[in-house]
Amino acid sequence: MRILLLSDIHSNLEALEACLAEAPAHDVTVNLGDLVGYGASPNEVIEQSRQLGKFFVRGNHDRVTCGLIGLQDFNPVAGLAALWTRDHVNTENMQWLRELPQGPIQLEGVGGAQFVHGSPLNEDDYVLSEEDAAAPLLASSLPLTFFGHTHLQGGFVSAGNGSEFFQPDYSTIGASESCELALEPEQKYMINPGSVGQPRDGDWRAAFASYDTDTRMVTFHRVPYDLRGAQDRILAANLPVRLATRLAAGK
Kindly indicate which of the ranges 1-9, 62-70, 78-86, 208-216 contains the residues binding Zn ion, using the contact rule CB under 5 A: 1-9
Q: Which residues of 131-146 are buried (b: 16+ CB within 10 A; e: fewer)?
A: ebbbbbbeebeebbbb
- 78, 76, 67, 20: which is closest to 45 by C-alpha? 20
- Identify which range of 3-11, 15-23, 64-72, 199-207 contacts Zn ion by CB under 5 A: 3-11
14 is a contact residue toward Zn ion (CB under 5 A): no
C-beta closer to Zn ion: residue 8 or 44 = 8
DSSP state of 23: P
H or E stretch including 241?
helix 241-249
Q: Is 201 in the site for Zn ion (CB under 5 A)?
A: no
Does residue 34 belong to the site contacting Zn ion (CB under 5 A)? yes
Question: Cβ of residue 1: shortest distance to Zn ion, in angstroms?
Answer: 26
Residue 167 sits at the vertex; the CA angle it makes with 162 and 172, to the nearest 5 degrees, is 165
Contact segment (CB under 5 A) with Zn ion among 2-10, 170-178, 183-191, 228-236 equals 2-10
- In angstroms, give the least distance from the CB of 150 to Zn ion: 8
Closest by CA position to 190, among listed 215, 165, 155, 219:
155
Stretch that binds Zn ion, among 8-16, 49-57, 64-72, 172-180 (CB under 5 A): 8-16
Which window, 31-39, 103-111, 133-141, 209-217, contacts Zn ion (CB under 5 A)?
31-39
Min separation Cβ 37 and Zn ion, Å = 7
C-alpha to C-alpha distance for 50 and 69, rounded to whole angstroms: 23
Residues whose CB is less than 8 angstroms from the CB of residue 223 and which lie 6 or more positions away in sequence, other chains included: 18, 19, 21, 22, 176, 205, 206, 208
Q: Of 8 and 125, which CB lies nearer to Zn ion in the complex structure?
A: 8
Which CB, 10 or 188, lies closer to Zn ion? 10
Chain position whose Cβ is nearest to Zn ion:
34
Examine residue 8 and tell whether it contacts Zn ion (CB under 5 A).
yes
Q: How far is the CB of 149 from Zn ion (least distance, A)?
A: 6
Identify the DSSP state of 104: P
Question: Which one-letter DSSP state was computed for residue 198?
Answer: -
Contact map string, positions 143 to 162, toward Zn ion, x by CB under 5 A:
--------------------
Count of residues near Zn ion by CB under 5 A: 2
The CA–CA distances, whole Å, from 149 to 31, 130, 152, 192 equal 12, 16, 8, 9
- Looking at the Cβ atoms of 34 and 177, the one nearer to Zn ion is 34
Report if residue 123 touches Zn ion, rule: CB under 5 A: no
Please classify residue 13 by burial: count the beta carbons closer than 10 Å to its beta carbon, then call 0-12 exposed, 13-18 middle and 19+ buried. Answer: buried
Instruction: State in angstroms the smallest separation of the CB of 73 from Zn ion.
Output: 13
How far is Cα 251 from Cα 197, in angstroms, rounded to an integer?
11
Chain residues in the site for Zn ion (CB under 5 A): 8, 34
